[in-house]
Structure 1
Amino acid sequence: MEATLFSDVREASYLSTKKTHRYRPIIRYMYEQKRIFNTEVLPIEIFNYLIQHPRFDDYTMEELIADLNALVKSNNLTEIPDNTEVEGIEDFKRNRRLFVLTDFTFEIEKMLTSFEKNFHRIGTSLEPTLPEKLYNSLHRLREFSRRKNMDKEDLVFLNEVWEDMFDKFFKLDSNASMYLSHINAEKLEVIMAQPDAFIVFKDEFVAYLTNFILELKKNAPYIEQLLRDIEGSGFAILKKYLIQFQRSIPKTEVIPDSDFEMAYDEVWLGVTHWFISRDEKESKVRQLERRTNSSIVRVTKLAQQAAERQFYTRNRKTDYLHLAKMVHQQNNLEEAGELFSFLFGFDNIKHFKTNGKETDSAKYTIWDCQPEEVDITYRAKQPTDKQTKRSLKVPAMGEEALQRKRMLEAQRDYEEKEIKKLLDCNYLALRELGTVEPFIRNAILTWINKGMLSKMQDSNICEGRTEHGVKFKLAQVSDDIIELHSPDGILTLPDYEFTFSEVK
């Protein structure tokens, strides 16, 4: 483990400080200028760029100089003094100082811009032909692994094939991972806000992703077989010739063969793990197939939910205005009534069921059927005297059951009376209640539940009706947690208040 892993990265400190809102625009401007080869930038150029944004209306040149000095101390910028003739000391301090973005910070900004671009789109495309191209590269590598001798031209061609194979594999791995990570992330929620766009996106996504997986499934077994043919002695031959090619390239420093060997081993290990399952570890291609299938199912369900939500929340005002215009254009009330019946049907119409059509021909209608007589005689059996007496017989009730029934009726009357007292108060604050009986606590919980079911969005007030028909409003008056005492325990709940109004 290298010692640099235990030290701070000073160059990244500008991303999370109290002045990040000023440092990042400065660094981004320096990055954009370096990209167009304007590496040395004057403070006045930076200042003119920043003040174009409303957030820098009160920004001064003195604050800019202080920010630039801080970025120089954190190794984000390098200062290059310009010693040409100047008119005064202030001109030298402000405008004759040149600043250059360091290479380390340039790579940080390059990485950030790449992440920002990928974050604001659904991801890169999954090229369907990548698996086939990777198969072709591996097929050529297998041919090289069976050679016993190679000349200089063969070594160059072998390295080109190896680089092409790695390029195709890297693109396949990065694009697939990036695409699926975006599909599984919150980006779908953004598309869900536009149901029409989401449904179109769903169709394209399912078709495209299915094509990619079909192509991958078609080539994956052959790629796996090629990798098994090459690994072992075949890969050892390839690695030997690849290292021989690297030694033939002039370099400023001597790189041991062990470093080349480790680099090639890591690449080969990554490729084989992608397509070949080892012990209990599933290969990446199997994981990709499984995740893709689940993503297709998830996107389809989200699209269905979006379509259903659009249907239920659709504004029918335009439709009804069009129908009203059609009715209004009729000559008289009778024609308007006929049109209305066609549009909305008849109220409480009775239907008669027959034995059906005599044929399934499409040209044959119900009007071509022969009339059919239906017997509507009531065929229910008349009850006998014995059945009538049995139904009228009331079982005798014992003294104990009768006493229990009276107690239950008395308890029910008592509960109704106590609950009615609460409803007659028109106002009920739970924090002001003392010890209440369990049936009152249960009634209060039922009212809270009914109110929560009808809670309006972005509102702390809920409305509902009790089982007695009394309309109420439920409001949480504070963030405190109160206690509602009963003989059988203590219930903790938010600080609610009820306001009762008219009876339905």
Structure 2
Amino acid sequence: MEIGIKLTKPLQEVKYLATENSWRYRPIMRFFYYQYEQLQYWLYKEEVYAELRSHSEFAAYTLEECQQDLETLVQWGNLVPVQDTAKARTPEEFKTKQFRYQLSEYAVEIERMTMTLENLSVEGASLEPGYIERIREAVARLPEMVEADPKTVGSWWHGLNADFKSLNQNYQDYIRSFHSLRAEELMKSTAFIAYKDSVIDYLRDFIKGLQTNSYWIEEQLRCFEQRVVEKVLVNVFTYEKSIPRLEIVSEKEIMENIQGRWQSLRQWFLGSAMRSSEVVKLFEITNELVRKITRYAARIVEALNSAANRKEEYKKLAELFLACPEAADCHKLSALAFGVFNSRHFKGDLERTTESINSSVFAEPPLMVEIRPRTRRYKEKTAKRPIVDKSVQKERLYREYIDQINREQAVIQSYIKDDQIDFAALADGPELPAHVRITLLHWVSRACSTVSRRGKTEDGRVFRLLDPPHGDRCLLRCADGELEMPAYIIRFEEAKGARGLGALRPPAPVHAENGKNRGTL
């Protein structure tokens, strides 16, 4: 026995079998495997989510949890994501493209192991048009299978599925090989030039064969009557049921597998209402691959030609330097050919006297640029200024503010009748000033935010907000517009002893006697 790295390294692909969320991971992988058996290799997260939600165990399952589970399985190597970016025109469309997920080879083997099925057979990757040609011949024979014997139907069915399966696996493996790191390095090397033409011819032959046969297959699949297809599938079911098996497989599972394979074949060529067919996607992938190969080859040829042309330029420049009689002439030629070696570029909002790009810097007046040191400790020097005594202005502004508050409170006090303010009565009265409306609405909002419907004014008076008895509404006419609102009643519970703002007086000025700064605090 040989013990190497492959034998000793842990297999993270089997983590989903024994984790805290295995009850979610394993159904997802099993659904992928069932679809894989029906030749439905690529699935979107919405399809996985819809299948899981159809079971009672996943009644509370969300789409965000499904996305997280799929990403976890991708990190463990169980699923292979592919982003369809062929039609993306903007970066936003590129970012919002949905992923399609496919089982990895390890995941297929693990699921087969858990279900005791036969081992995976890995075929060589290629794009042979022979598969699509044999599929066309098999589809053309479908009407004959209505009256054929079970063995003939079984042989026809197995041949059709084998060619369809080989076509899927081979084209996916072949296309995937061009997206590996080794392929990227090869396409950037000069040795790829000789290999480029044969690859493009190979891809074009496959595209030509796919175009020739796929359109005919699509037309035939659309023309088949449903009763003919159902009769053929019943004959296939009869043959599959007659095969002796060691494991127990119900008739329902056999029929679902047959119908699923046929539906996958139809969707591969015809597509569905939710997405386009795989034939269209295969055309786009192969055409994009041809364009990619052509771009890489063009870059290699351009680089080779550029290097060859630059070599001749350097050779001619060396001859010019050799022909210079003095070192000063060499310096001038170097300045002309290479420019200034140690140059500095200043960026900023610079205002030029002219917009001409051909004018010399010596033809414009000099511009003074202040350069500051790039250090955190640098601080601009500030001029020392004496403290100006503004106590008189402060006292005057304070008195004006107090007078304004007292005037506004006096106006609001005039609307209080019998220790309450009735909004319905205000609607019948004169126009309300803006500050009165703001104060009243502030009181209403303050009372509505409490359970007891009570509040307190700015001067400490407690009030209670009463709702209109019959849901009456009123229209308040204010200086800044009209306001329709419920006819609330603000009732003050402490009418006596209230401290109005009108009694407020500005404090007496306090002077500093230290002889340095005299001001009002």
TM-score, normalised by the number of residues in structure 1: 0.39
The structure with higher relative contact order (CA 8 Å, sep 6+) is 2
Higher fraction of helix: 1
TM-score, normalised by the number of residues in structure 2: 0.38
Asked which structure has the greater CA Rg, the reply is: 2
